[in-house]
Amino acid sequence: MLQTGGDNSGLGRRRAASLLRGLCSFVLGWHLKAGEPQVVLNAGRPGQMAMVCARPEVSGVEDPALGKTLLDVAYWDLAHSGAVQPLLESAFPAPVTHLAMRQAGASLLLRTMVKPGWTGKLILRVEVTDLGAESQVFRKAYSFDGKTLARTAHRLVDDVIGALTGIPGVAGSRIIFVHELAHGRKELFQVDPDGENLTRITHHESLTLSPSISEGGRLAYVTYVAGLPRIWGRLDPKEPFRCLFPQLPGAEAMAFTPAWSPDGRRLAMVLPNHRGDSDISVLNPAKGRTRQITGNSGINTEPAWSPTGHQIAFTSDREGSPQIYLMEPDGSNVRRLTLEGTYNASPAWSPDGGMLAYVSRMDGRFNLFVYKLAEGKAYQVTRGAVSSESPSWSPDGRWIAFASDQDGRRQLFVTDLSGTNQRKLLDLPGCQSPVWTRTR
């Protein structure tokens, strides 16, 4: 909006329930009896490849549940990848053959094998076979231990998706967001895209807002821990959090909505001006110099760098109502992007730079839109009698995370670009400002 300013067992149960529902009309599970009626879908959604997930081959491992856990995590990740529709091998009548898989519409077979490795580690070997050509299209080995099984499963799925589509998956990414702990107390948290591994990041016991992270892991945010809103964060993931730019003098000590450039070399931020409005400035952390790049009357806020770093999208009410504008990083070549709607805000670039997600107010509620730059057209993503805010793209460009009060409490959701495939990220009210990143 326009402004100047460890594992969770419940989530694990939700994932299990999601697995039971499945994406297709299969009878799922590990205890199907041969000869029982089984429905095999003529698989594959438009734009998706149907992949049979074979039962993991596990030998020499003490944990009897390891194979099932591996399959559960990989299946969930594939089902929510937007690129692959997974099918369970156990849903096919025995004996399962490549011909039967092809007749069901499957084009790929995923096999996983786990054996003991050296120095107490386990070795996971992964193979993906093209069922039509009867040839391997992916093969890789991973070393892991019992504590990193889920993380390794995320990695293998991301690698498989990358090999098949050219763009790695996002199962191993994370979503940073703001969570309200109590009135006047908000902190940064992070969670995996499957809703697992909810972790608190900051402990300021204050109002903490507007996270931004660069590709190299530089994190910036606004906190009121010292009284005034100032930019805190860290320039290296190994550093403790601190006030990043204490040298900013006077009124510039107050800063809002920081936004790292993709390479982490520049930080755009919103600073108050002498008119009582706000302007966007760009800071070079290496030199400690700030340059104001907007200067007209009105509020200029919510800077968002393009993936190349050559443009900045921002929100401004310079023409009377909040709208989305584009400009060069030096403030030149300003042009208005949104021409429809009386209130448009919160721009977010797609990873390929071809689209901008934003919110538009309609009938008193905000909905997500996607503007395709090549077409010069906007498409509505969310609809309904609730507000959807703060869009953030997944690193592969297939999904958008956002905050919404769909069930009366503001929580985080994920949607595809059509808006028809939505899911709640986790059951945690009081969440806002998601930022989706590959950086861990």
Q: How many domains does the chain have?
A: 2
Domain assignment present for residue 139? The answer is: yes
DSSP-based three-state secondary structure for 259: strand
Q: Using the predicted structure, report yes or no on whether residue 108 has a pLDDT greater than 90.
A: yes
| pLDDT at residue 32, rounded to an integer | 29
Domain assignment present for residue 3? The answer is: no
Of the chain, the end-to-end C-alpha distance in Å amounts to 27
| 228 and 104 fall within a common domain | no
Is-cis flag, bond preceding 95, omega within 30? yes
Q: Domain of 238?
A: 174-437
What's the token pair of residue 440? 């861990």
| 225 and 356 fall within a common domain | yes
| 129 and 56 fall within a common domain | yes
Q: Say how far apart CA 276 and CA 127 lie, in whole Å.
A: 61
Q: Using the predicted structure, report yes or no on whether residue 384 has a pLDDT greater than 90.
A: no
Per cent of the chain over pLDDT 70 is: 88
DSSP lists the bridge partners of residue 401 as 392, 414
Q: Say how far apart CA 345 and CA 369 lie, in whole Å.
A: 10
| 280 and 352 fall within a common domain | yes
Domain assignment present for residue 266? The answer is: yes
DSSP-based three-state secondary structure for 17: helix
Phi-psi map region of 236: left, alpha, beta (phi>0 left; psi -120 to 50 alpha): beta
Q: Say how far apart CA 220 and CA 439 lie, in whole Å.
A: 14
Give the mean model confidence (pLDDT) for residues 419-430: 95
Using the Cα atoms of residue 275, residue 276, residue 277 and residue 279 in order, give the sign of their dihedral: positive
* Contact predicate 240/231, CB 8 Å: no
Last residue of a domain, one of 147, 165, 183: 165
The length of the chain, given as a count of residues = 440
Last residue of a domain, one of 116, 137, 165: 165
**Nearest to residue 428, comparing CAs of 404, 412, 407?**
412
**pLDDT tens, residue by residue, 205-229:** 999 999 999 999 999 999 999 899 9
Query: What is the pLDDT confidence band of residue 363, given thresholds at 50, 70 and 90?
Result: confident
| 223 and 347 fall within a common domain | yes
Of 334 and 93, the structure prediction assigns the larger pLDDT to: 334
Please state, rounded to an integer, the average pLDDT across all residues of the chain: 88
Q: What is the pTM of this model?
A: 0.88
**Nearest to residue 128, comparing CAs of 22, 23, 52, 42?**
52
Other Cβ atoms less than 10 A from the Cβ of 342: the count is 11
Other Cβ atoms less than 10 A from the Cβ of 135: the count is 8
Query: What is the pLDDT confidence band of residue 251, given thresholds at 50, 70 and 90?
Result: low
| 40 and 96 fall within a common domain | yes
| pLDDT at residue 33, rounded to an integer | 29
Last residue of a domain, one of 143, 165, 187: 165
Q: Say how far apart CA 401 and CA 399 lie, in whole Å.
A: 7
| 148 and 234 fall within a common domain | no
Domain assignment present for residue 52? The answer is: yes
